[in-house]
């Protein structure tokens, strides 16, 4: 398996340098706008036990760049609720993660016990603009600022990052300009272009050479996080290998819990099942 990954990253390196293209064009999902977001129970391929109250779906534009955000819950109760801010992975839009993570998270600790917020970063879904490290971080910060304006406080903010979304999630916990979350959940986290590129090729290259995600290094960034960490990963993950997530986990010195699935690929929630997955999330939030 290591030789396959080594070949892949050397091939990526050759293609990007030889043809002057960016790695983002080769490995990121094709980003395109959707005709209309569909955050309904009917659009979900999920057990009906995890359906949500559709009257609590709030979709709106946010930030100076006008990216799209979703709040699943009663906005008027944010001043009292705990909120999970979900940073999705490498998919074209929030719809791609609607029944995969967003709907299940609305059942953590009970149906709609916690609010759930998600966003389409600039360049994803119907959010216009360029996707890069700075914009990812700015967009997540804009969500945190909005939540603060609704009455949320630091001790009630939980940030979760899936795969590629680990980058804005980790940075949201370390570089927020408003609220600093003390609870971070990482699901099959991608460590960043630079550490992966260097680790897989053995070459001292900067990720900014190949990617608009620059030198973002989640393993290094998480060293300054002051809080608790919950990490999910599958042993057989071929998209983001276990050792990549482990570099982030090992770099964090604080209170931390690892849940490693014996089988499964890039989806711990599929291996554990929704019931067990959200139970672990609830235990982490409530401890």
Is 15 a member of any domain? no
Above 90 in pLDDT, residue 68? yes
On whether residue 209 sits in a domain, the answer given is yes
Least confident range from 87-101, 146-160, 212-226, 259-273: namely: 212-226
Rounded to an integer, the average pLDDT of 242-267 is: 94
The tokens of 39 are what?
């955050």
Tokens of 281: 């999330």
**68 domain-assigned:** yes
Q: What is the pLDDT of residue 9?
A: 46
Which among 265, 68, 258 has a CA at the least distance from the CA of 163? 265
pLDDT of residue 198: 52
pLDDT at 192: 73
Average pLDDT over residues 2-25: 48
Note down the domain range covering 109.
57-286
Place of tokens 């309904």: 40
Assigned domain for 21 exists: no
Which residue has tokens 């949500």? 52
Give residue 6's pLDDT band: very low, low, confident or very high (50, 70, 90).
Answer: very low
**Closest C-alpha to 245, from 255, 260, 264:** 260
Number of domains in the chain: 1
Among candidate residues 109, 112, 119, the one with its CA nearest the CA of residue 88: 119
| pLDDT for the residue numbered 150 | 98
Does any domain span residue 50? no
- The answer to the question of residue 65 being in a domain is yes
Edge-to-edge strand ranges of the sheet holding 83-87: 57-62, 67-72, 115-120, 83-87, 157-162, 183-187, 228-234, 255-261
Q: Is residue 238 a contact partner of residue 266, using CB atoms and an 8 Å limit? A: yes
Flag the least confident range among 31-35, 38-42, 240-244. 31-35
94 lies in a domain? yes
Mean pLDDT of the chain: 86
Asked if residue 91 is part of any domain, the answer here is yes
pLDDT in tens, 98-152: 999 999 999 999 999 999 999 999 989 999 888 778 888 999 999 999 999 999 9
Helices 133-149, 166-174: crossing angle, 10 deg rounding: 60
- The tens digit of pLDDT for each residue in 20-36 reads 555 455 455 555 566 78
């Amino acid at each position: 398996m290591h030789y396959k990954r080594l070949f892949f990253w050397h091939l990526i390196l050759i293609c990007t340098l030889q043809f002057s293209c960016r790695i983002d064009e080769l490995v990121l999902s094709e980003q395109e706008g959707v005709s209309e977001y569909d955050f309904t129970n009917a659009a979900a391929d999920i057990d009906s036990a995890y359906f949500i109250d559709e009257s609590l779906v709030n979709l709106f534009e946010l930030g100076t760049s006008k990216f799209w955000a979703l709040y699943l819950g009663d906005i008027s109760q944010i001043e009292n609720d705990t909120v999970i801010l979900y940073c999705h992975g490498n998919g074209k839009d929030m719809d791609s993660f609607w029944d995969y993570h967003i709907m299940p998270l609305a059942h953590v600790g009970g149906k709609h016990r916690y609010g759930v917020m998600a966003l389409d970063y600039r360049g994803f879904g119907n959010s216009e603009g360029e996707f890069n490290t700075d914009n990812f971080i700015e967009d997540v910060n804009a969500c945190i600022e909005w939540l603060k304006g609704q009455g949320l406080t630091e001790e009630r903010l939980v940030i979760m990052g899936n795969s590629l979304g680990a980058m804005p999630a980790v940075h949201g916990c370390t570089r927020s300009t408003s609220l600093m979350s003390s609870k971070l959940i990482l699901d099959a986290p991608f460590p960043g272009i630079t550490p992966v590129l260097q680790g897989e090729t053995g070459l001292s290259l900067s990720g900014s050479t190949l990617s608009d995600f620059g030198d973002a290094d989640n393993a290094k960034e998480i060293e300054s996080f002051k809080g608790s960490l919950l990490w999910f990963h599958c042993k057989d993950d071929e998209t983001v290998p276990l050792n990549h997530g482990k570099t982030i986990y090992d770099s964090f010195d604080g209170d931390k819990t690892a849940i490693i699935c014996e089988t499964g690929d890039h989806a711990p929630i599929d291996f554990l099942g929704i019931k067990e997955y959200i139970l672990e999330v609830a235990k982490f939030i409530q401890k």
